[in-house]
Structure formats: structure tokens, C-alpha cells
Amino acid sequence: MSFPWAQQYKPTTEFGQWMDEKLPIGRLIYNSVGAGYPTPRNLNYMWNFGSLAGFFLVVQIVTGIILAMHYAANAAIAFDSVEHIMRDVNSGWMIRYAHANGASFFFIAIYLHIGRGLYYGSYKAPREMIWLLGVVIYLLAMATAFMGYVLPWGQMSFWGAKVITGLFEAIPLVGKPIQELLLGGFAPDNAALNRFFSLHYLLPFVMAGVIILHIWSLHIPGSNNPTGVNVKGPQDTVPFHPFYTAKDGWFLGLALIFFTGMMFFMPNALGHADNYIPANPLSTPAHIVPEWYFWPWYAILRAFTFDFLFVPAKLLGVLAMFSAILVWFFLPWLDKSPVRSGDYRPRFKKFFWFGLIPCIVILGICGGAPAEEPYVMLSQLASAYYFAHFLIILPLLSRIEKPEPLPNSITEAVTGKPLEQAS
Amino acid sequence: MASVDTAVEPSDSAVSEPEIGGVRRRDFINIAAVSFGGVGVVATVFPLVNQMNPSADVLALSSIEVDISAIEEGQAIKTSWRKQPIFIRNLTASEIEAANDVDLSGLRDPESLADRTQPGKENWLITLGVCTHLGCVPLGAAQGEVKGEYDGYFCPCHGSHYDTAGRTRKGPAPTNLEVPEYSFLSDTVVKIG
């Protein structure tokens, strides 16, 4: 493991020893999320969202496998089969609402997890690979969520599928053939529904695989922490188990109160009423928006209402939307400041809290609003700021900013005493 | 530099905490929390398993009404109940006699014809068309089908022979053809299930 003082796995039973020689899965768990993983002692609650996102992925997989037992991926009966789940299947309504709201909670967790990484510089060396894999997981999650939303085959499902595959049509020359290839037709129909179902079932397992890589690469340098200062010795860490298993467990309980509250008392609050109308290829709903977790990107897509040079607005919007996430792949090299934690970067902190975060919130609001003024102009301003933040502000800041003095160690930051007295 | 031992927080020294009423505080919290969590897990798992039971639309199809006025003596029909075949047979007098002549003590599953029909309606033999061996549909209900050595039903899968009362007589079938719950709504309409 990462630190030489990590506790060693010692099987206590004879069976444990036998297993440890043949298939050391107990050792793997011990070293990954057990007492064998030394973790910074000062992690705050923002470090709870990784395990929470993992939990909600499991919720999605379990409820999803169950829903697939009752759902029929056929354009003629898909909508009815969802109503069958809601009305006839024992507890089907609960399982479907858990799945629908579980997606939202997964994204809540993953956004706070990403935000934690952005603020505390978790993407910086030596943790670049963890960040890059995280972006891949996020992209997979977006694809999975989009295709899942198509499956009920309601109005929002159908038009969501049409609009999102329409993005590919913007690609010059090959756009149209690509769209037809993706849909297996000229508009969403049975072929598209079937392949979306197949992929919606597959991708979460791909995600699980990338998550294993994500955690693997995390365990090489070990977790970042709110000070961003490297772990210097055993006094800076506590074993993951029982300290963070207990903290994650308690936090999971808290999150489940909100989750079950949503699920049982306002299960459709985050959905769209239009999706309870069966898909109608001849009539588009008046106000078509994606699920809330896509709103910021949707706003960037719609912000481009003008052609620029020889590039049509449609293509610009699509390029901008994809770039808004792809820029994250370059983040570890755009932000060159050697100081990780935003706590010790006075200017970065201001740009983060008063620039990036409000900008994404505004994009989110605009993405959920109708495509009219003032939302279009606001989206344009916010999109401009968004890209400026990553491409101009962060590289510049890392040159001109004077960071505040860092604590000598995590322990010193926690206890307020120099290291010698801390122990 | 601090020693390895300080990696563990002082709060973990609860092992030396004083006992209250013979129970250590941390043990109590631990057992209470795990038990409460266990109850929650069971409550969560139950609906996740129960969803596999027959759904409301399947249960809604669990009884049918059949018009038997057109079935003449010596004829049988096949109908479907809960997605399983049902045989409704109008026995002839000689078939009834043959069924009543059998010594019950010699049967694998001793039941008289009267046990398997309703009083005053002994000619109506209503059974599941599902062989009690491994679930194939026996022959003998439709005209021209092989009726087996006992002139009732014959299952071609593994060679089970049923007599005119639908009782197992030869072959691997362990019990008689199952008689479902049914009632006569009138002389010509029977409700099954």
C-alpha cells in the first residue's frame, strides 16, 4: 500500500489463511477500504460523496436489473410495460421511483464529488489519472442516464432521443449518416429503443470497471485532503476502517433520509409530466428540456445562436457543449499552481465561489428555462465565463497568485501545534 | 517524529471506558446500530424479492368461466386456466363404471371418482392437463388421441397412464391429475379457480 505504516492484513481464522493463499480477496478489501488503507485524518464531509456515488450506482444496478425483468423494450408496448410496472408488479412503483430518483441522487453525489476535486485541487499531480478516469466515469454516466430516460418511451423520452441524436447531425458531411447509424432509422423507433436498452444495461458495468481503476489509481498516492498538503507520517493518517467506514456509513444514512423522502413523498418532482404521455412522433412537447443534471450543458448548446466565420451555429453549439466537459481532461495541466487546496489560494477561492459556481448555477437555470430572453443572453455570458475560467483564469492565476502559507503538516493544521508537540 | 501508535486516535481508547450497568457504551452503540441497519436491510430486500411473485394482472386472470353445454357424452375439451391446460371431460356411463370398479387399495394415489368430482355431477371430470410427473400435457382429451392403457389419458413424455377418473395407474406420475377448485354456476357454466 501507499504508506509504509499501513496496518498489515493478518487472517485470524484457519479458513482466512487458506483463502489468503488461494484468493486473497480479504486482503484486497482490507487494503482498499479496510484498516490497511491509511487515510488523512482531516477529511471533511466533502470526502463522503465518492462512496455515496458508488452506493447509488449499486442502487441503480440492483433496481435496474429488477426493472428489466418487467420492462419490454419494444416501441409498441414499452410505455405500457412501464405502467404495468407502476400498477401491477408487486412494489414495482417503488422500485421504479427508486431508479428514477436514484439517477438524480447519483448525479448530486457525483457533482459534489467533482466540485470537491475542483476546489481542493484533487486533480493535480500526482492524482491526474484519478481525475481523468473520473471524467470518463462521468461521461459514461451521462450516456447511461440519457439512454435510460428514453426507455419509458414517453414524449420526453422520444424527443430527448431525437434531439440528442440530432446533435450528431451537426457534424459536417457525415452528420446525417452518423445520426441514422445511431438510430437505426430516420427517427427514433424500435431499433433505437432496443439498442438504447442494450447499452443502458451494459454501460453501468463498464462504469463499475472504470471505477475500480479510479480507486486503484487513488490508492497509489492516497487520498487528497482539505489542506492539500501531502501526508508526512503516521500521525497524519487514520486507518480507513473503522474511521471512514463509520463516517461514510453515518453519512449514507443521512443521504438515505433525503433519498427515501424524495422517493416516497415527491417521486415525480424531478421528472417531467410530459413523459407520462406516450411517445408521439407527430407532436413535440411545447417545452422540451433534458433532466436537471444536463441543464448546464444544454444551456451551452443553446447559447450559440449565431454563425461564426464559416461555422454554423448548430455545429458551434454542439462543439461547445462537448468541449465544456472535454476541457476537464486538460485541467491538470491548465492549472499549474503547485498549491492544491483552494483554502490557501485567496484569488482562486474568489474565482471559484463567485465565478465558476454561480456561472454553473446560472447555466443550469438557463438550461431548464425556455429558449427565450433573458435566458439566451445569460447563457451566452455564462458560457463565455465558463470557458474563460478553465482556459484563461486558471492558467493566469497560477502565474500571478501568491498563495497563503501552507501548514507544515496535516497534523499541525488540525491541532494548531507544531509537529513535535502534536503527538 | 511520532511513533506508529499515534496513527490511532485517542478516541479509540474507548476499550478502557467504564462499564455502565455491565454493558460497555461502545458495545451498546455498535450492536444497536448494526441491528437497526439489519432491520432496514431486511425491509429493503423484501420488496426486491417479492416483485418476482405474480403481479396483479397475472392474478386477475386466475379464474375463468367455461360454457360446457356443447360437450357431449364421451367428449372432452381443452381450455386454458392460468396459462395451463384444463381438461373438461363428459364421462360416459361405462367410463364411470370402469372408474368405480377399481379397487382403491391398489392405487398409487387412492381417490374415488366421487372424490374427484362434485355430487350429482359425477360425469364431469375437470382436471389440469398437466402430467404430475414433469408437467407435459397428456394425450386423450382431443378426438383421436391415444388414451393409454386405462382409457383415460396418456402422457407421451415419459409414459404415464391415467384412467377414466384421471388417476395415475402406470408410469412415473406420482399423483393423480390435479383437480382444480371449481364450481357449477349453472348446469351449463362452470367457474374454474
Q: What's chain A look like in SS3?
A: CCCCCCCCCCCCCHHHHHHHHHCCHHHHHHHHHCCCCEEECCCCHHHHHHHHHHHHHHHHHHHHHHHHHHCCCCCCCHHHHHHHHHHCCCCHHHHHHHHHHHHHHHHHHHHHHHHHHHHHCCCCCCCHHHHHHHHHHHHHHHHHHHHHHHCCCEHHHHHHHHHHHHHHHCCCCCHHHHHHHHHCCCCCCHHHHHHHHHHHHHHHHHHHHHHHHHHHHHCCCCCCCCCCCCCCCHHHEEEHHHHHHHHHHHHHHHHHHHHHHHHHHCCCCCCCHHHHCECCCCCCCCCCCCCHHHHHHHHHHHHCCCCECCECHHHHHHHHHHHHHHHHHHHHHHCCCCCCCHHHCHHHHHHHHHHHHHHHHHHHHHHHCCCCCCHHHHHHHHHHHHHHHHHHHHHHHHHHCCCCCCCCCHHHHHHCCCHHHHC
The backbone torsions φ and ψ at residue A83, rounded to the nearest 5 degrees and listed phi first, read -65, -35
Task: Indicate if the pLDDT at residue B9 is higher than 80.
Answer: no
- Domain of B179, in residue numbers: 58-192
Angle between helices A25-33 and A14-22 (to 10 degrees): 90
Cα dist. B1→A38, A39, A229, A420, B6 in Å? 17, 18, 17, 7, 10
**Is the pLDDT reported for residue A397 higher than 70?**
yes
The answer to whether residues B31 and B97 belong to one domain is no
Average pLDDT over residues A117-143: 96
**Looking at the structure, do residues B106 and B140 belong to the same domain, yes or no?**
yes
Q: What is the pLDDT of residue A314?
A: 87
The least confident of A308-317, B111-120, B153-162 is A308-317
- Give the CATH architecture of domain A44-226+237-282: Up-down Bundle (1.20)
Determine how β-strand A237-239 pairs with β-strand B76-81: unpaired
Q: Could you tell me which residues of chain B have a Cβ less than 8 Å from any Cβ in chain A?
A: 1-4, 6-9, 47-48, 50-53, 55-58
Contacts of A214 (CB under 8 A, 6+ apart): A130, A133, A134, A137
Residue with cell 436489473: A65
Judging contacts by C-beta atoms under 8 Å, the chain A residues touching residue B58 are 88
Half-sphere exposure for A65 (CA within 13 Å, toward CB)? 9
- Rg over alpha carbons for chain A, rounded to the nearest Å, is 24
Report the CATH number that the domain containing residue B115 is assigned in CATH: 2.102.10.10
Can you give the pLDDT at residue A305? 84
User: What are the pLDDT digits (tens) for A173-224?
Assistant: 898 999 999 999 999 999 999 999 999 999 999 999 999 999 999 999 999 9
The domain segmentation of chain A, as residue ranges, is 44-226+237-282, 289-401
Write the pLDDT tens digit of every residue in B74-83.
899 999 998 8
Instruction: Tell whether B145 and B172 lie within a shared domain.
Output: yes
Looking at the structure, do residues B66 and B123 belong to the same domain, yes or no? yes
Q: Which residue of B has its CA nearest to A36?
A: B7
Is A169 annotated in the active site? no
Residues B94-98 have a mean pLDDT of 91
Chain A residues within 8 A of B34 when measuring between CB atoms: none
A289-401: same fold as A44-226+237-282? no
Query: Which residues, including other chains, have CB under 8 Å from residue A218's CB and lie 6 or more apart?
Result: A127, A130
Q: How far is B21 from chain A (nearest CA, A)?
A: 26
For residues B100 and B179, state if they share a domain. yes
Cβ atoms < 10 Å from Cβ of A165:
20
For residue A313, pLDDT over 50 is answered with yes
CB contact under 8 A, B7 and A90: no
Band of the pLDDT at A150, cuts 50, 70, 90? very high
Which residue among B3, B6, B56 sits closest to A88, beta carbon to beta carbon? B56
**Rounded Cα distance, A259 and A315, in Å:** 38
Residue B5 has a pLDDT of 45
Strand partners, B191: B65, B183
Contact residues, chain A, for B9 at CB < 8 Å? 41, 238, 243
Percent of chain A with pLDDT over 70: 98
pLDDT at res. A217: 95
Q: Tell me which CATH code domain A289-401 carries.
A: 1.10.287
Q: pLDDT value at position B4?
A: 44
Give the number of domains in chain B: 2
Q: Which of B6, B47, B55 sits opposite A423 (nearest CB)?
A: B6
**Distance from A310 to chain B by nearest Cα, in Å?**
55
Residue A189: active-site member: no
**Cβ of B21: how many Cβ atoms within 10 Å?**
5
ipTM: 0.80
- Give Cβ neighbours of residue B164 (< 8 Å, ≥ 6 apart): B91, B95, B96, B98, B99, B113, B125, B150, B151, B152
**B72 and B157 together in one domain:** yes
- Residue B7: which pLDDT band, with cuts at 50, 70 and 90? very low
What confidence tens digit (pLDDT) does each residue in A246-276 have? 999 999 999 999 999 999 999 999 999 999 9
Dist. CA B161–CA B147, nearest whole Å: 8
B15 and B72 assigned to the same domain: no
Do residues B63 and B140 both lie within one domain?
Answer: yes
What are A372-395's pLDDT values in tens digits?
A: 889 999 999 999 999 999 999 999
Confidence of residue A358 (pLDDT cuts 50, 70, 90): very high
Least confident of A329-338, B9-18, B36-45, B114-123: B9-18
Instruction: Count contacts between A and B (CB, < 8 Å).
Output: 61
**Whether A291 is catalytic:** yes
Residues of A in contact with B4 (CB under 8 A): 5, 234
The residue of chain A with its CA nearest to that of B55 is: A89
pLDDT at A422: 46
Facing A88 at nearest CB: one of B6, B7, B55: B55
In this predicted structure, what is the pLDDT of residue A419?
60
Mutate to test the interface with A, among B12, B48, B53, B62 (most CBs of A within 10 A): B48
DSSP-derived letter for residue B187 is: S
> Of the candidates A383, A389, A387, A391, which has an alpha carbon nearest to the alpha carbon of residue A300?
A383
Residue B19: per-residue pLDDT: 64
